[in-house]
Amino acid sequence: MSRSLDAHDRLQQLEKIIGTPAEHLGLTELLTETLRRLREAMGVDTATVLRYQANGRQLVAFAAAGIEEEVHQGVQVPMGSGFAGRVALERAPVILDHVDESTVVNSLLWERGLRSMLGVPMIAGNELVGVLHIGSVTTRQFGEPEVATMQLLADRLAMAVQVEALEENRTATMALQRSLLPSSLPEVPGLAFGARYVPGAETGLGGDWYDLFALPGDRLGVVMGDVSGHGLDAAVIMGRLRSALRAYALDCESPAEVLAKLDRKANHFEHGAMATVAYGIIGPSREALTLSLAGHLPPVLALPGEAGRLVDAPPDPPIGLTIGVPERRTTVVGLPPEGVLVFYTDGLVERRDQPVDVGMDLLAATVRAGEPERVCAQTMAAMIGSRAAQDDVALLAIQRRSVPAGG
């Protein structure tokens, strides 16, 4: 009976600590107010939330009440180090009855005279979100009731932090993606363009991109790329690869050489990242495109009055997966007047229930020469239709005009 009453009391205490959140409060303000209430309810002097950063394997002070300097000074605790690092590593509560440099990494805590501390992991599902800890300047014997209350609160806060983190990630990814994709397609004499980008319904925004840029000598660089993974990390890598490729394109005449440099850069600086890239250069006559494929699917070429066909270009290794210096090749693709060349990412042609080759063949049969925007609309209607795309889709159609603009 008493055990049931204890659980009921803990829930009441938890509701008192959490209270009714004000709708106008952001996550940081909400956590700070919750930590202030936690101090009062538990009769302690400090309460802190440290957020886990997986890419650096460290905890960073995110909200605090009692020693706000932890946040202001950007306190960081490596995973497994000291008190909070141990809580995170073991994913289990830790109680300290001795606080000094031998048990705590953050010097602010022992400099303020803390004698006792209790920390619990913040876990949402199976994901470590952070650490919640409290401290007292008087000796305290934290027992099972305090541990249970803290863990209940940590579970609640972990969900709030995770939801906010997912929204932050999505917002940042969308902003980055918008800034890196062309806001408008260029006006190039002798050429016309159409494009689409649609994030995956299941995977969200990722690392797909397309690019068109002017090169010296009245040439045009054409890029279609796909970084493995999704979310902000993939978009950030995509942005770095995009910028590097543009820089290499200014110094190298050959698309194969550009991709070789990009591969070397990725292997050195982007450990574990992988991307497929198609890069081509259209010359000043607009009669041909010189193309190199780094693991990317071949474009489709459609001539007036004919069915589309997959370009016969050899695929070389993807970016970021190679050891040594692989041979990278180029293929010259003719662009007859009014012909259309369609680049795409695998989200357009891949389906769980069919081989990718089936989707590629369907795409080739779908594409017909015509105005590029109409080609994109017809292609999306045939390949995506009313179904939400499972993965990101990037699509770029290029048409050679019979008479150059102004001609």
pLDDT digits (tens, 9 = 90+) for 19-57: 655 455 577 888 888 899 898 888 899 999 999 988 789
Tokens 């599902």 belong to residue? 125
Q: Residue 10: what pLDDT?
A: 53
* pTM (two decimals): 0.73
Q: Name the residue with higher pLDDT: 174 or 284.
A: 284
Contact (CB, 8 A) for 143 and 116: no
Q: Compute the average pLDDT of residues 121-142.
A: 93
Neighbour order of strands in the sheet with 94-96: 76-78, 58-65, 46-53, 127-136, 116-124, 94-96
Task: Report yes or no: 359 and 366 within 8 Å, Cβ to Cβ.
Answer: no
Beta-carbon contacts of 253 under 8 Å, excluding residues fewer than 6 positions away, are none
Q: In whole angstroms, what is the distance from residue 28 CA to residue 30 CA?
A: 5
The per-residue pLDDT for range 190-211, each reduced to its tens digit, is 999 999 998 875 555 668 899 9
Which tokens in the block code for residue 202?
Answer: 């299941």
Token output for 86: 């141990």
**What pLDDT score was predicted for residue 26?**
72
Q: Residue 2 — pLDDT band, cuts 50, 70, 90? A: very low
SS3 assignment, position 377: helix
What is the rounded (10 degree) CA torsion for 81, 85, 86, 90?
-130
**At residue 389, does pLDDT exceed 80?**
no
Confidence at residue 203, expressed as pLDDT on a 0 to 100 scale: 52
Closest by alpha carbon to 266, among 318, 208, 206, 344?
318
Across residues 140-162, what is the average pLDDT?
90
263-287: burial string, b at 16+ Cβ within 10 Å, e else: bebbbeebeebbbbbbbbbbbeebe
